[in-house]
Amino acid sequence: MEFIQFYPLGWNDKRLPVWMADLSLIDFVPLIDSQGNEFLLDKLRQWGFRDGAEGNLYARDRAAVAIAEADQNGGAFLHFESLPASVWEDKRFLRALVIHPARLKGVKGPVRVEPLQHYFCGGIVIDENCHTSISGLYACGEVTGGADGANRIGGNALANIVTFGLRAGQNAAIETPQTGVFSIQDTPAPTFPNKGAPPQTLRQELQNMMWKCLGPIRNELGLNEALMFLDEFENRPYCVSSSADLLAALEMPGLISTARACAQAALVRKQSLGVHYREDSV
C-alpha cells in the first residue's frame, strides 16, 4: 500500500484546474526552479533519458521526487511567457497541455506546478482469476496490488484493467450462483450524530494531512505524524444534513482505513523502492 504513483507535472495555480500536464511539456516549455535552473531536463539526461516524453514513460517516480523537492525549496515554474508563437501551433505541445490552450494564453507570468497523486500500484491481493480472500468478492485494476510491481510503466493501466477486468467479470458471472448474491438489505442503515463539521470539510483536512505526510517525499517523522492524526481523526463526528453529506460520510471509513494502511506500509518499508521514496532511506 506504500506504492502510490505520483504524476510529476500537475498545475498548482489558482487560475488553472487541479489536473495534470504531460511530462513531455518540458520539451517545449522551460521548467525552472527558484534558483533559475532548468533542473528536470538535466536530471532526465543524467538518468539516461532523451527528453520529457521518454521520462514520462520510464521515470515518473524520479521526476515526481525532483519536482517535489523543487516545490519544497521555493517552487517549480513553467515559463509560457517565453514561448515563440510557433509553439502554440505545434500539435505535440497542445496535446501535452492536457487542458485547453485558451486557459493558458491569457495567463501572465510563470505557472507553478507540483506532482499530484495519480495511481495505486499496491492494494488487494488477488489470484490469477481475480479472487480475493473474501468469497464472492472479485477485484481488478487499480485497487489491486502486484501487477505493476513497485512502479507502473506509463501506458500499462489500460492493459491492467482490460486483462483483469475481463477475468474478474467472467469468473464472477460463472461463480456467483455458487457463492450467493449479496443484498443491500443485509446491511443495516448507518446512523450519524447530528453534530460536528460537514464530512466534506473533514475530508479536505484528511487529504491535506496525507499529502503533507504521504506525498512524494516521506520520512519517519511525517509518517508517525500521519498515524497519530488518524487515531484522533477517526473519532470526529460528522454533521450529515444532505445526500452529499451522507455519501461523504459513508466514504470516510474507507478513506481512513486506506490512509492508515498506506502510512503503516510506508513506515515499515524504510528503503526507497519504485514510487515509494523515503528521504531518510537506509
Identify the CA nearest to 266 among candidates 152, 122, 143, 117.
122
CB atoms within 10 A of CB 105: 9
Identify the CA nearest to 154 among candidates 64, 56, 61.
56
SS3 state at 102: helix
Tell me whether residue 260 is one of the annotated catalytic residues: no
Reported residue count of the chain is: 282
Strand-pairing partners, residue 111, are 78
Grid coordinates in use for 103? 486557459
Active-site residue, selected from the candidate residues 15, 45, 60, 278: 60
* Residues 85-104: b if buried by 16+ CB within 10 A, e if exposed: eeeeeeeebeebbeeeeeeb
* Residue showing cell 448507518: 190
Alpha helix positions (H), 180-242: 199-214, 220-233
Catalytically annotated residues: 60
